[in-house]
Structure 1
Amino acid sequence: MSHVGYDAYRHDDGSPFFHPDEFDITLVARPRDIAQLTPGQVSRCIPVDIHPSGELPVSLPALVGDFEFDWVVATQERLLLPAARLREAIGVGGMGTEHTLLLRDKVAMKRHFSAHGIRVPEFMEISEPVQATELLDKFGHIVIKPVLGSSSMNVHIVRGQNELRSLQRQGFASPDRYEAEEFIAGRQFHIDSVVNNGVPVAASVSQYLDSHEKFPLNGQVRSHTLDDGPDLEVLLEFNRAVLGCIPWFSGAAHLEAFLDDHGRPVFCELGGRPGGAGIESTFRYRHGVSLLFASILPQVGRDVPVSSNQARMDQPATGWSMIYPPTLGRFRGFEALPQADWLLQLTTPYRPGDPIRKPRQAKDAVAVAAVCGRDSREVVDRLAEVKSEIIVSITPE
């Protein structure tokens, strides 16, 4: 089950993760992704509209009909729960709904990890903003977001009762469940790991440099790996402690965490899937392992891959940036794009004629870049260089 193009499931040498001689693949995907397939890539396709929440418009047994399967595989956050439900519905092995909820449902995961001694923000589930009044009175600063949200969509940082009342009048953007939680003052990080039975066998720690609340025109969201030092050691240990609370899990994990103003780690959320943006490219560079492939192997009954530590010793640091369009209108093309041997990835999702609307979620970028460098400072400088060299042609409407 996938909502990215099937060509993403390839090794660096271009060979497919699922070789047709070994796997008989039924692809459940959006019609537009199915249309991009080349003959022989998969055995059969089931087109389906996938809602942004991951919900499907038909029942899962009806979706697969009389087909028989050995495994069900999903690697994107929105499809983890539908895949778990499908496994249970057709009686195949793999992670079921109970465990998947702990890696997807922000309320369930906080309850689980808090019960195992992990520090989490104080939180509560709400059905309307006004229910967070007491939490806001207590902390003066809270975050409200969908329980099953992804890509930082519909996240609200509330800084006072006037803002809460305004959000109450506005209402939530969707009927999804919501949660409110204490705002953690400090720095935010993501820790990406290949995990074997709750033990990280390869991990990278990166610091976010930009807010996830809004995605302004001509803005960006960036992160860079941490240089050696106390913060890196604290967060690697925190990652080991968090993953140790799910000893049944193997695959790829994406942990979001904070260091508060006193340098203490605080849990934000944990995804049982590869991180987005440029994380796949930077992790492959640093560790010689694909997080996407590491996510797939346990879902087909195999062990996670072993890291080969392939990063160049003279440029071990990495970082990425999601760059948002400079203006609204109709995308025409790029007048200039950067080129450099330290540029690990430059993805440009828009095609000529596509409308450019105001970004509403993290992935609404006109370009995604990943770079390497000697240290975090050089990485940040190179990300700035990449952004300055991207010249977009947009026709106003």
Structure 2
Amino acid sequence: MSVLVLHRNPLAAFPYRRWLSGDAPGLDDRTPYPGDLVVLAARDKIESAGEQLPGPLDHDFTHLDLFGTLDDETVPARALALAERHRITHVIAHHEADVALAARLRERLGLDGPRSADIRPFRDKALMKKLARQAGIEVAPHTVPGSAQEARDFAARHGFPVVLKHREGYNSIGLRIVADPDELEARLADAYRDGPRDDLLIEAYVPGRMCHVDGLVVDGRTVAAWPSQYQYDLASFGVDAGPRVDLTLDVADPLTPRLLTLVERTLAALKPEGSRLRTHAFHAEVFHTPDDRLVLCEIAGRSGGAKIREVFEILFGIQLAVQVTRAEAGLPLPAVEGAVDERGLLRPRCMAGQVLTMKRPGLVRSLPSVPDEEWVRGFWLFAEEGQVIPPAGGSADFLTATVGSAPTRAECERRLRALGARIVAETKIVPVGGEEA
């Protein structure tokens, strides 16, 4: 057994060899994973997290290739060559941008796991919304505008604001909420300067608060899922200097069962009979409108970003990335099997949430101290004092991240907001050669 990993994240939080250890044939939980572990990693994601690039002796992989970015056009051919050289048996990819390449590699090599047809409904937002709507799930009015005029016509029918996004986008990169015709014209002039295209989506703006549901499916059955609610606008990552709070919903919240039911229906709509996507995480985003409707925004067949995996671990006692890594490597999931109840489900043990701050351009003069509150379950800094940093390039480009817990959502919110205010007050970033920003 040998594994190839497409890795578009910081490295420190992904100890793959330890995650793969134990519970393979002939191994116990103290025996290291003995197979080849080949990793293709993104240098930009490692450096943007403030981590040092690993040298030849700084990792336990069989082979590590570092690329400036995994969008490098040489990555697919290199991945295939390494897969053939190391006789790879399983391909792992946690990031939305890499699941399609992982599927193509499985197809080319004849390996187990989801193929392109299984992944496409979760990557192609137009197909996703079509399948959801056919299943009776409400989605925003939308179209794929082949030309600027088609986008103008859509805006004329549905009014402003409208939302422009990439059909296979992620992390809110390229997403624009367009307020009026003048802004639309400026966006369209740039988007269609090279002529017609079919990789954009325009949709009507849906008012309301964005909820998300995160979960784990094992062998085609959801064993753990829970809803949360963003207390901020995802698309504001480039201008938001304050704390961004995200909270789980209480068990007794009337939205909780509605959101869980909606997501189960969505998963069924996107995974027809015969789908090879059997064990996976998911991250669904759903609008809760002022008139109490639930409107599906989108759903991904992988775990959520930010520190959602860590929040999930607080809730259920299992780490999504660990379980998905093991599943994609063909290994059993004893942590899940030992935790489910008689109905095969995991139940949340408390409420939890995260508070995030985004990178801002400039020289980092000071960063917050590590919180010492007992309810804080994790704290991360993604820059160093004295470092010059760029602005946030997406909704996952954080300066700090903190996860915490509480018995109730209300108490969790109180704790996280107070801590977020302190983190902002202790952070000082100044323009290069200028005064405080």
Is this a same-fold pair by TM over 0.5?
A: yes
Match of 1:280 among 306, 309, 314: 309
CA drift at 1:69: 0.9
Partner in structure 2 of residue 342 of structure 1:
375
Q: Does 1:219 align with 2:219?
A: no
Q: Which residue of 1 aligns with 2:330?
A: 301
Asked if 1:320 corresponds to 2:354, the answer is: yes
Matched, 1:201 2:223: yes
TM score, norm. by length of structure 1: 0.88
Cα offset for 1:65? Answer: 5.3
* CA drift at 1:284: 0.3
Q: Could you give the per-residue CA deviations for residues 290-336 of structure 1, whole angstroms, max 9, x where no partner exists?
A: 11122223312345534465865xxx2111122124x5312244253
Distance 2:56 2:283 in 1: 29
Q: Distance in 2 between the 1:300 and 1:272 partners?
A: 17
SS of the aligned residue for 2:234 comes to coil
The alignment partner of 1:126 has SS state of coil
With over 3 angstroms needed to count, the CA separation of the structure-2 counterparts of 1:207 and 1:18, relative to structure 1, is same
Alignment-derived partner of residue 16 in structure 1: 18
Provide the rounded CA distance (Å) in 2 between the counterparts of 1:224 and 1:66.
45
Q: 1:36 to 1:192 in 2, by over 3 A?
A: farther
In the TM superposition, what are the counterparts of 1:1-397 in structure 2 within 5 Å?
1-10=6-15, 16-19=18-21, 20-31=32-43, 35=54, 38=57, 41-51=60-70, 56-57=74-75, 59=77, 60-62=79-81, 64=83, 66-127=85-146, 129-140=148-159, 141-171=161-191, 177-215=199-237, 216-227=239-250, 228-245=252-269, 246=271, 248=275, 249=277, 250-304=279-333, 305-306=336-337, 307=339, 316-325=350-359, 328-334=361-367, 336-390=369-423, 391-397=426-432
- Deviation, 1:71, is 0.6
| Gap change, CA 1:171 and 1:244, over 3 Å in 2 | closer
Count of residue pairs brought into register by the alignment: 389
C-alpha deviation, 1:393, in angstroms: 3.8
SS in 2 for 1:153: coil
Contact in 2 for aligned 1:337/1:389 (Cα 8 Å): no
Please tell me the residue identity of whatever aligns with 1:163: E
* Contact 1:336/1:389 (<8 A) preserved: no
CA distance in 1, matches of 2:33, 2:218: 27
Looking at structure 2, the residues matched to 229 and 164 of structure 1 have their Cα atoms a distance apart, in angstroms, of 39
2:165 maps to amino acid: K
After superposition, the Cα gap between the structure-2 partners of 1:118 and 1:184, relative to the gap in structure 1 and judged at 3 Å, is: same
Q: Deviations over 1:165-210 (max 9, x none)?
A: 2322344799992111122222211100011244321111001111
Are the structure 2 counterparts of residues 277 and 161 from structure 1 closer, same or farther at C-alpha, using a change threshold of 3 Å? same
Inter-CA distance 340–178: structure 2 relative to 1 (3 Å threshold): same
Q: Percent sequence identity over matched residues?
A: 24
What secondary structure sits across from 2:321 in the alignment?
A: helix
Q: Is the 8 A contact 2:208 2:287 kept in 1?
A: yes
Stretch moving more, 191-200 or 114-123: 114-123
- Separation in 2, partners of 1:207, 1:126: 31
Residues 303 and 186 of structure 1: CA distance in aligned 2, closer, same or farther (over 3 Å): farther
- The alpha-carbon distance between structure 1 residues 286 and 85, as it changes in their structure 2 partners (threshold 3 A), is same
Secondary structure at the aligned position of 1:102 is classed as: helix
CA-to-aligned-CA distance 1:55-89 (integer Å, 9 cap, x gap): 65553534645331111111111111111111112
CA contact (8 A) 1:49 1:56 kept: no
TM-score by length of 2: 0.80
User: Where does structure 2 lack aligned partners over 5 or more consecutive residues?
Assistant: 1-5, 22-31, 47-52, 341-345, 433-437
| Alpha-carbon distance between aligned partners in 2 of 1:102 and 1:222, rounded to the nearest angstrom | 30
User: Residues 107, 220 of structure 1: CA spacing in aligned structure 2 closer, same or farther, 3 A cutoff?
Assistant: farther
Structure 1: gaps of 5 or more residues: none
- Using a 3 Å threshold, how does the CA distance of structure 1 residues 283 and 161 change in structure 2: closer, same or farther? same
Cα RMSD of the aligned pairs, angstroms, is 2.8
Deviation at 1:378, TM superposition (A): 1.8
Q: Is the 8 A contact 1:199 1:244 kept in 2?
A: no
Structure 1 residues 230-263: Cα deviation after superposition (integer angstroms, max 9, x where no partner)? 1111111111111223263321111111223332
CA contact (8 A) 2:379 2:403 kept: yes
Q: What amino acid sits opposite 1:341 in the alignment?
A: E
Distance 1:322 1:7, change over 3 A: same
Between the aligned partners of 2:396 and 2:388, the Cα distance in structure 1 is 15
